[in-house]
Every structure is written in structure tokens, then in C-alpha cells.
Amino acid sequence: MRIQDVAQAAGVSVATVSRALNEPGKVAAETRTRVEQAASRLGYTPNASARTLRTQRSKVIGVVLPTLLNPVFAECFEGIASTAAAAGYAVQPFTTEYQIGRESRAVNSLLAGNADGVILVVSNPARSSALQRLVEARLPYVLAYNRHAKHPCVSVHNEAAVAELIAHLGTLGHQRIAMVSGQLQASDRARQRHRGYRQGMQRAGLQEMPLIEVPFVETAVQELASLLRRQSAAERPTALVSSNDLLAIRCIRAAHLAGLRVPQELSVTGFDGIALGEDLTPMLSTIVQPNAEIGQRSVELLVRSMAADAPLSAASSITLAHRFRAGESCAAARRTPSV
Amino acid sequence: MRIQDVAQAAGVSVATVSRALNEPGKVAAETRTRVEQAASRLGYTPNASARTLRTQRSKVIGVVLPTLLNPVFAECFEGIASTAAAAGYAVQPFTTEYQIGRESRAVNSLLAGNADGVILVVSNPARSSALQRLVEARLPYVLAYNRHAKHPCVSVHNEAAVAELIAHLGTLGHQRIAMVSGQLQASDRARQRHRGYRQGMQRAGLQEMPLIEVPFVETAVQELASLLRRQSAAERPTALVSSNDLLAIRCIRAAHLAGLRVPQELSVTGFDGIALGEDLTPMLSTIVQPNAEIGQRSVELLVRSMAADAPLSAASSITLAHRFRAGESCAAARRTPSV
DNA sequence: CTGTTAGCGCATTCAG
DNA sequence: CTGAATGCGCTAACAG
């Protein structure tokens, strides 16, 4: 089913069909109707590749993100996909599983002319060679969740968010507050959030505790549980500040396995605000980021830049508001431990 | 960066470049090296649209599914994406949010020549007009999770799984077992699982309880909680069999809000086996389906059929094994209630 | 307002 | 083993 068939059926030229379908205003009403009817009767759908080849615009936005198994990114992706669809763009996702090599491969595919623009979540904007290639190719892009002075980013203020959270925990009487995180190396968010922890602890006049870095999610629960079991009540943290919600959920499980009640004996907080957290018992106490909106705003930025044919600069970066959801996994410290 | 530039740089014709890159065996070793070096030096990536237009194969697999916010589908999608990538295919997802209209729109986009094949999860295979159009267009496809005698499907045996579960609950002493489900109309899985419930209850000689149909996930928790609160201990179910894991999690929350302990006072089971369920407290008791494998097998089927250029029939359908994960949200009934 | 035509970048005959 | 030439389906000049 080609444009030619429609032209023949409607008794016009291919150019007229193309115009009738793409710029209806430029065609006589009667002709247009004839074309439209012929097209719909034949079930004609314009060939995307031919159109892309001709116009040099694919109407596709590439998306590079760590994984869709983490609801944070799934939520963001839905925001991207629906906003993109509304603007007439399809979306093509690539997951990196936090591996640098896969970032590059994804960008390669996207550079094959498949995408008009790219939204990406990378491990380290400062060092991503994939990002570098994107810049060199002058393909419009926006970073989501990442935060970097030289790139257009849509994110929240991670440091501030965690620092505020620490202050809040302080007012709840917590003094032994430990941070739990995935590999710092794999994520600039994790590093920023950890900086927020240090900052918050310092400001609250509390002594920093060693970072609990959990390398693999698969073994996280066991590791955390045995750590909690090993520690005496006096040395154990009274609050665990987790770098993300999925990890916070595992902290809660670990506490349970170690015989600690949450939040009575151990407070646990998350970061991300995944929807599921609200349906858990205890409801997750967490810093909520507007995940769908991060996706939406990224697309808006990208679409605007593609329309204006002007590259985005770091000046376009957007910092969205975060908020703390009290939840139920976090409570006042039971007694003031000696320092 | 076109093939022409590479040809010039390597001092050969475009045809030779094309061959050197796509059919290395058909080119002299020395020539090939020269081409490869020129290509990599210039950072050449073949234009996907041009190639697609020429070969009539996009190397893209379309994926139509309800939502990526439900980890079931996210897990399946990851299975699809990684298997597809290994076979040299990219993947293009469309979410329908369980709306028929969006199924059609997705298929339309895919029919625009963008996809060599499609994997889809539809509401109702028997009535999906989108599916119908796919068949008419002779575009290879596989249904995932759906189950229908006339289409190639990759799924588990939903009826049997729930029936077995009911039998198990029976041996645990449960008699008042109710099923909780999303809208039956929106999903054939839900209907099949409900049939399994009826079958299981009948076989166990238990009296069926009215289906608790929860139309909107947003209000599910409140609805379920008030239902549980309204019922006396004698009329309340002792076990809630949920049609999917996300709903089971909400049932647990609702029980908590209604002051019922899970599993002591109310057993709750799910269906899907999302990874997260294992990290919850109580760990979700659920029927595990191999979500990633459902995706993987769907791709394998599709790829094989595309290679053979032979359409898939219902005879290719695959039923994968499910299993029950005991978890912690399900326990023996406390006392035998009078019937 | 409509038709003719060129060419987007590539893979693939067909010659040599 | 390599090169020249064709056309995939479409849109955008340009002409009428």
C-alpha cells in the first residue's frame, strides 16, 4: 500500500495525496475529501522510513535509562512516552543496566538516524563518552535525573533534599543516622544524595556514620540483615536513610529479618517517591520526586529545541521541587542514646 | 556521514563499502580492512531509515502492552528487549493503559512500516480490532499473557494455576475464600483466573463468594478496607485471592487499615511473581509466572517466524510453567468457621 | 490548486 | 572481486 495506489484510486497525483494528508489547507476541499476517502478505504498508512529518509526527521525520541524494573524510571518513561505521543513523537527506549558500555551502544543505535533527540539518564555526565558523542553529533538531548553544570538537565536538588531529611530526623531525636546506598560509582544521584547526608549530619552537629554501600540488589537484604544483627543496640543506627525507594524496601525487610520493628526500633526512609511506596505497610517515608513530570519536562525541552533547531544549553536546566512524604516507616527515636 | 563519504575515504565504490560492512566474506581482506578503517575513522553509522526503505526490514519489534508501571510488564519487556537486542532487533513500546482505542493507535503506528513484527498484550484477543488489522496486514505477531485458540500465544495456564491455589488454601483450612480482581472486562487473564477460582472452589466443595471487582487502582485500598471493616468476622473471608500482585499488595494494606493482621487473621495471595514481592514484609505469597521468559520466548517465536518468512499459527503457542511461592502473606486458617 | 520530478541513503542486481 | 546504476516510498521544489 503506497502513496501511488492512493493517488490512482483518488485520480490525483502522489503530490496531491501527500499534501492532502500533510497540509490539508493547501488542497481544495473536494479533492481532499476524495483523497481521504481513498486513503481510508485502502487502509493506507504512510511509510515511516521513506518519510524519515526524505524529511530527515524521524519523529522518534530515543530514551536511554538504567532499567525499567525500577519503578522510578518506569514512571518517568511513562511521562516521556505520553508527552511525546501528544507531540507526535514515538519513543525508543534502551536500558543500560548501569553499564557504561551499554550507554554507548544505545547512543550508537540512536545516532544511526533513528532519533531526532535523546533523553538520557547516565551514570556520570562528566565522563560519559556516549554523551560526548551525542554532543559531537549535535543531536539534541536532555539529561534526566542527572545534574551537571555543562548539560541541560531536568532533576531535583538531591543534596538539599537529603540534607533537609537529615534535619528532620534530627528533630525527631535521631542521632545515629546511617546512609544506605547502591554503588556510588554507578550513579551521580547516589553521590549527590550522599553529599546531602554529610552536609545534613554536619549541620545537625551529628557524627557521620560509615556509608553502607550495597553492591548487588540481589544480596542486599541478607547483607543488611546480617549487619543489623551484628550490631548492638548502642551502636546500631536508629535511622537508615536509603538512597532510593527500592533499597528502602529492602532495608525494611532486612530489619524484619533482624528482628527489628520499623519504625519503632528502626526508622527507614527512601528517595524517589515511587507510587507503590504509598501502598506498602508501613507506608514508605520518602522524598518524593515528580518522576512523570521529569519525563514530561524533558520531552518539552527537547521538542522545543528541535522545533527551534537550536541546541539546548545548560542554561535550560530545570530543577523541580521535591517533597517529603511522612509515611509510616519513620518515627521519633525512642530514647536518646549516649553519644 | 554517508556511505559515499566512506567510499571516497577508502578509495572504493559505495557498493564495496556496503558489502564490506554487511557481507564481509564477499570482499577481499585488504579492501575490507581499508573500508573498516575508513568507516571507524569517520565514525560512520549506516542510516537506519535508508536501509529499512531499501531492504523492507526495519529490524524493529513493536511491543504493545498495558503499562510499564506494573512490574509484570516491565519484567516481560526487559526480557523482550534483551532477547531482541541479542538478535539484532530494536524494540518500540506502546502502552495502552488497558484502553482498546490505544491498542489500535499503537498498531497503526507499527503498521506504518516501522516494525517487522509485534508482540502484544491485549484486553481481549477475541475482539481486538487491532489484532484483526495485524492479521490482515500479515505482519507477524505473538500474543503474550493472552491465551486464545486462534492465535500464537505465550502464557501460563491461568485457570489451572488459580484452581491449584484454591486447593492449597483448602488444605490450609480456608473455607471462605474470596477473589479480588480488577475489571474482568479489561483483561482476559482476569477472566481466566476467575474461572480458575470458580473451578477450584467447586472442586474443593467450597461455596463461592462474590467476586470483589476493584475498578480503579487509585481507590482500591480504601474500597477494600471499608469492605473488610463492614464485614463481621463470621462473614469475612479468611483468604483473599488476588488476581495480580499489585492488587495483593493493596489488599494487604487494606487489611492493615481494617485492623486485620496478615496472615494471622487474613491470608492474601497474589498472581504474577513480580520480583519486588520477595522483598516485602510479609513476603508475598503468589503464583509466579516467568515474566522475563514470556518476553524471551515471544521474541524467539517471532524472530524464527520472520526468518522463515512464515506466519505463526496458534499451533506455535507456548504454555510456560507457573509455580506457587509460599511467601508469608498466606497461612493456615485459624479456626474452622461454621459453614 | 495540482502535477512532474529529483533525491534522501542504502542494498542489490547486473556488468565487467 | 569490484563498480555503475536502479529504486525502495515519500516530500518538496518547481512548473504549469
Q: pLDDT tens digits for chain A (339 residues)?
A: 899 999 999 999 999 999 999 999 999 999 999 999 999 999 899 999 999 999 999 999 999 999 999 999 999 999 999 999 999 999 999 999 999 999 999 998 898 867 999 999 999 999 999 999 899 888 999 999 999 999 999 999 999 999 999 999 999 999 999 999 999 999 999 999 999 999 999 999 999 999 999 988 889 999 999 999 999 999 999 999 999 999 999 999 999 999 999 999 999 999 999 999 999 999 999 999 999 999 999 999 999 999 887 789 999 999 999 999 999 999 999 765 444
Distance CA(B36)–CA(A287), nearest Å, equals 50
Using a CB-CB distance cutoff of 8 angstroms, which residues of chain B are in contact with residue A79?
none
Cβ of B59 near strand C (distance < 7 A): no
**Main-chain phi, psi angles of A121, to 5 degrees:** -120, 110
pLDDT of residue B114: 78
Distance CA(B251)–CA(B233), nearest Å, equals 17
Peptide bond into A337 cis (omega under 30): no
Nucleotide nearest to A44 (CA to C1'): D9
Sequence length of chain A is: 339
Provide, in whole angstroms, the distance separating residue B15's CA from nucleotide D5's C1'. 11
A70, A78, A83, A281: best mutation site toward chain B, by most B Cβ within 10 Å?
A281
Residue of chain A nearest B78, judged by CA positions? A68
Provide, in whole angstroms, the distance separating residue A16's CA from nucleotide C2's C1'. 7
Please answer yes or no on whether A68 and B74 come within 8 Å at the CB atom: yes
User: Of B249, B250, B64, B201, nearest to B146 (Cα)?
Assistant: B64
**What is the arrangement of strands in the sheet containing A117-120, beginning at the earlier edge strand?**
A90-95, A60-65, A117-120, A141-144, A153-156, A318-320
Q: If you compute the radius of gyration of chain A from its CA atoms, what whole number of angstroms results? A: 25
- Are the C-beta atoms of B109 and B63 separated by less than 8 Å? no
- Are the C-beta atoms of B35 and B21 separated by less than 8 Å? yes
Cβ of B30 near strand D (distance < 7 A): yes
Cβ of B12 near strand D (distance < 7 A): yes
pLDDT of residue B337: 47
Cβ of B46 near strand C (distance < 7 A): yes
Burial of B329: CB neighbours in 10 Å, binned 0-12, 13-18, 19+: buried
| H helical segments located in chain B | 3-10, 14-22, 29-42, 48-55, 71-86, 100-109, 129-136, 158-171, 188-203, 217-230, 245-257, 291-308
Nucleotide nearest to B56 (CA to C1'): D8
Nearest to A250 among B92, B94, B279 (CB): B279
Nearest to A281 among B111, B246, B252 (CB): B252
Residue B304's contacts (CB-CB under 8 Å, 6 or more residues apart) are: none
Q: How far is CA A311 from the centre of its chain?
A: 22
Peptide bond into A282 cis (omega under 30): yes
Q: What is the pLDDT of residues A296-334, one digit of tens each?
A: 999 999 999 998 877 899 999 999 999 999 999 999 997
CA dihedral A249, A252, A256, A262 (to 10 degrees): -140
Residue of chain B nearest A61, judged by CA positions? B92
B63, B89, B279: best mutation site toward chain A, by most A Cβ within 10 Å?
B279
Closest residue to D13 (CA to C1') is: A15
pLDDT of residue A111: 86
A-B C-beta contacts closer than 8 Å: 113
Q: Which amino acid, residue B158?
A: N
Closest residue to D6 (CA to C1') is: B54
Peptide bond into A263 cis (omega under 30): yes
pLDDT of residue A338: 45
Residue of chain A nearest B56, judged by CA positions? A49
Question: What distance, in Å, lies between the first and last C-alpha atoms of chain A?
Answer: 78
pLDDT of residue B109: 86
Distance CA(A280)–CA(A319), nearest Å, equals 28
Using a CB-CB distance cutoff of 8 angstroms, which residues of chain A are in contact with residue B256?
281
Query: Residues of chain B whose C-beta is under 8 A from some C-beta in A?
Result: 43, 45-50, 52-53, 58, 67-69, 71, 74-75, 77-78, 81, 90-95, 108-109, 111-114, 133, 221, 246, 249-250, 252-253, 256, 275-276, 279-281, 283
Distance CA(B326)–CA(A134), nearest Å, equals 48
Provide, in whole angstroms, the distance separating residue B15's CA from nucleotide C13's C1'. 11
Cβ of A12 near strand C (distance < 7 A): yes
Please answer yes or no on whether B49 and A113 come within 8 Å at the CB atom: yes
- What does each C-alpha distance from A117 to A150, A309, B1 come to in angstroms? 18, 11, 18
Please answer yes or no on whether A280 and B249 come within 8 Å at the CB atom: yes
- Residue A273 gets the label, from left (phi > 0), alpha (psi -120 to 50) or beta, of left
- Are the C-beta atoms of B77 and B63 separated by less than 8 Å? yes
- What does each C-alpha distance from A252 to A40, A81, A208, A256 come to in angstroms? 56, 32, 21, 6
Cβ of A46 near strand D (distance < 7 A): yes
| B129-136 and B100-109 helices, crossing angle to 10° | 20
pLDDT of residue B338: 45
Provide, in whole angstroms, the distance separating residue B306's CA from nucleotide D3's C1'. 32
Cβ of A58 near strand C (distance < 7 A): no
- Are the C-beta atoms of B35 and B10 separated by less than 8 Å? yes
Provide, in whole angstroms, the distance separating residue B13's CA from nucleotide D5's C1'. 12
Query: Residues of chain A whose C-beta is under 8 A from some C-beta in B?
Result: 43, 45-50, 52-53, 58, 67-69, 71, 74-75, 77-78, 81, 90-95, 108-109, 111-114, 133, 221, 246, 249-250, 252-253, 256, 275-276, 279-281, 283
Strand D proximal residues, B:45-104, Cβ < 7 Å? 50, 53-54, 56
Please answer yes or no on whether A281 and B256 come within 8 Å at the CB atom: yes
Stretches where chain B sits below pLDDT 50 are 337-339
Please answer yes or no on whether A68 and B45 come within 8 Å at the CB atom: no
Please answer yes or no on whether A114 and B49 come within 8 Å at the CB atom: yes
Pairing of strands A60-65, B141-144: unpaired
Q: How far is A12 from chain B (nearest CA, A)?
A: 22
Residue of chain B nearest A136, judged by CA positions? B43
- Are the C-beta atoms of A245 and A72 separated by less than 8 Å? yes
Torsion B45-B48-B52-B54 (CA) sign:
negative
Distance CA(A89)–CA(A119), nearest Å, equals 13
- As a three-state string, the secondary structure of chain A is CCHHHHHHHHCCCHHHHHHHHHCHHHCCHHHHHHHHHHHHHHCCCCCHHHHHHHHCCCCEEEEEECCCCCHHHHHHHHHHHHHHHHCCCEEEEEECCCCHHHHHHHHHHHHHHHCCEEEECCCCCCCCHHHHHHHHCCCCEEEECCCCCCCCEEEECHHHHHHHHHHHHHHCCCCCEEEEECCHHHCHHHHHHHHHHHHHHHHCCCCCCCCEECCCHHHHHHHHHHHHHHCCCCCCCCEEEECCHHHHHHHHHHHHHCCCCCCCCCEEEEEECCHHHHHCCCCCEEEECCHHHHHHHHHHHHHHHHHHCCCCCHHHCEEECCEEECCCCCCCCCCCCCC
Distance CA(A79)–CA(B8), nearest Å, equals 44
User: Of A173, A210, A176, nearest to A194 (Cα)?
Assistant: A210
Nearest to A108 among B45, B50, B71 (CB): B45
State pTM to two decimals: 0.94
